[in-house]
Structure 1
Amino acid sequence: MRFLIDGDGSPVKEEVIRLGEKFQLPVLIITSVDHYTVKEYPDFVQFIYVDKGADRADYQIVKEIQPGDFLITQDYGLASLVLPKKARVFHHSGQEYLVETIDQLLMQRYIGGQLRKAGKRTKGPKPFTANDREVFYETMAAIIEQTIA
């Protein structure tokens, strides 16, 4: 078991790294070269950088994911591609994407896109707060503890 992070725009990278350290799990962050960093990270954290372009990180994640891995992403489409590979997929809110509900989420995304194309306004996400980060951390810690027990 390891963590994979859809790194382009993920607000919970540091929390996932804390979880990796706490539970001694490797962390793999897959992101575009636009987000290249020289920041020092612990040895259990690895990066894979992909070329710029739509869905490049997603394709790499699908290639890298293994059964039992935990993926953190806010991309419903990516979640739908990874779930059949027997990985567990989570939003940065801590909500787990499930095979039983992913089609509904994809339909909501489609309808929202159609509304925006038609010139309608749709609500965007609320700002991600420090409290949201802590809720994510605590939720994921509990899930990991249940998984490894």
Structure 2
Amino acid sequence: MTGPATPAITVYVDADACPVKDEVYRVAGRHGAHVVVVANAFLNVPREPWIERVIVSDKLDAADDWIAERAGPQAVVVTADVPLASRCVKAGASVLSPTGKAFTDSSVGMALATRDLMQSLREAGAVTGGPRPFSPKDRSAFLGALDRALVRLRRNAQGG
């Protein structure tokens, strides 16, 4: 008699403008995780049975809604979208920004407040620049954060 199968771990990628898709494929492949790349336009993805491309409508927040409806405790969501991160954290998913920053119950509220403040400052003309450029250090931090998140989920799924 065999025991229950380990629940599948899925990495959902909010793919529009995501700079770390290749890193997701590399790390998820090493861990045997399923990857779902969600976008509102066609994107090339590697032809692997464990990588799925989902194209949603171009309606505002269609990709976010699709991901948020499926995110849960056995998922890692990769997004720079703070409102989406908040929805996924509430659903029990592990959420990472492309810079490797983890969104958690304790950090996502502050991230939303900061996002709203910066948006107000930009609208008022007080802030004219955007975020700093994505760097090799960010890429490295993301690789480590995704690896740790997948190890933790696998350990939790196996009862460890």
Q: TM-score with structure 1 length normalisation? A: 0.89
RMSD (Å) for aligned C-alpha atoms? 1.6
The aligned counterpart of 2:100 is 94
Structure 2 unmatched ranges of 5 or more:
1-8, 156-160
The aligned counterpart of 2:149 is 143
Cα deviation for residue 39 of structure 1 reads 5.0
Choose the corresponding residue for 2:38, options 10, 21, 30: 30
Cα deviation for residue 41 of structure 1 reads 2.4
Report percent identity of matched pairs.
25
Q: Does 1:56 align with 2:62?
A: yes
Cα deviation for residue 64 of structure 1 reads 2.1
Change (3 A) 1:38 1:83: closer
Change (3 A) 1:79 1:38: closer
Structure number with larger C-alpha Rg: 2
| Matched letter for residue 130 of structure 1 | P
Cα deviation for residue 68 of structure 1 reads 1.9
Change (3 A) 1:95 1:49: same
Deviates more, 1:64-73 or 1:24-33: 64-73
Structure 1 unmatched ranges of 5 or more:
none
Cα deviation for residue 142 of structure 1 reads 3.0
SS in 1 for 2:105: coil
The aligned counterpart of 2:127 is 121
